Amino acid sequence: MTELVVHPTAKYIKAGAILAAIFVLAVEIAYVAKWRDNQKLTWVPIVAPLVLLWPAERWLRRRFTKATFTADHRLRYEVGITSKTTRNIQLYKVQDARVDQRLLQRLWKVGNLSIETAGGASRLIIPNVDNPQALADDIMTRAQSGPTGT
| pLDDT tens-place string over residues 23-38 | 999 999 999 999 888 8
**pLDDT of 16 above 60:** yes
**pLDDT of 109 above 60:** yes
124 in Cβ contact with 114 (< 8 Å): yes
Neighbours of 117 (CB within 10 A): 19
**pLDDT of 146 above 80:** no
Residue 121's pLDDT band, with cuts at 50, 70 and 90, is low
**pLDDT of 74 above 60:** yes
